[in-house]
Each structure stands twice: as C-alpha cells, then as structure tokens.
Amino acid sequence: MTDNPVDDLTELADQLAEEFAEYRQPNEFKDISLVIEDEGKEHPTLIVHVDGEDAASLADRIEKFLQEHGARTEREQHSDTDVRVLATLN
C-alpha cells in the first residue's frame, strides 16, 4: 500500500477488473461498473455497481474478493438486479 488511498483503491479496482473481466467486456452492457468516489471524503470509496440477473451472487463473489484484498465492504441492494458494493481501505 502507498500513502495515497486513491492510488491504493485504483490498484484494487484494476485487480478487480482483471479478476472479473468476463463481466466487463468492451462494446457491451457491463454487468460490473467501477467508480472511485474521493471528493470531500476522508476515506475514498470504491463503488462497484453490479447489474443483471445474477447481481446478488456476483456481488457476493466481488465482496469476498475485496475483503480478501484488505478492503472493508458494505452492500446496498436497490433491487434484485441492482446491487452496489462499497469498499474502503484502512
């Protein structure tokens, strides 16, 4: 880890994108979208938006991956097909 939490989250997001590349194909609707929210926050947050029929089970896998890589996670479920996993690093 670096002294810059945004850099650390960017590295984690890159690892996540690589691990779940099959869900992030170019020129297609993406089941997984990644955003780093760092404006006005003491602790930047990686937001993983999971969309689709298998959103809950895919979010489970993503949450486990993030936790195994040292992230603290929270989940927001907006519907059966719309889940967000929020990750921060200490």
The domain spans of the chain are 5-89
DSSP states of 42-80 as a string? SS-EEEEEEESTTHHHHHHHHHHHHHHTTEEEEEEEEET
Q: How far apart are the C-alpha atoms of 89 and 82, rounded to whole Å?
A: 23
Convert the pLDDT of each residue in 73-83 to its tens digit: 999 999 999 99
Taking each helix axis from N to C end, the angle separating 55-68 and 5-19, rounded to the nearest 10 degrees, works out to 130
pTM: 0.87
The amino acid present at 59, given as its one-letter code, is A
Q: How far apart are the C-alpha atoms of 71 and 85, rounded to whole Å?
A: 11
Convert the pLDDT of each residue in 6-36 to its tens digit: 899 999 999 999 999 888 766 666 789 999 9
Structure tokens at 67: 């936790």
- CATH number, domain 5-89, options 3.90.1070, 3.30.110, 3.90.930, 2.40.360: 3.90.1070
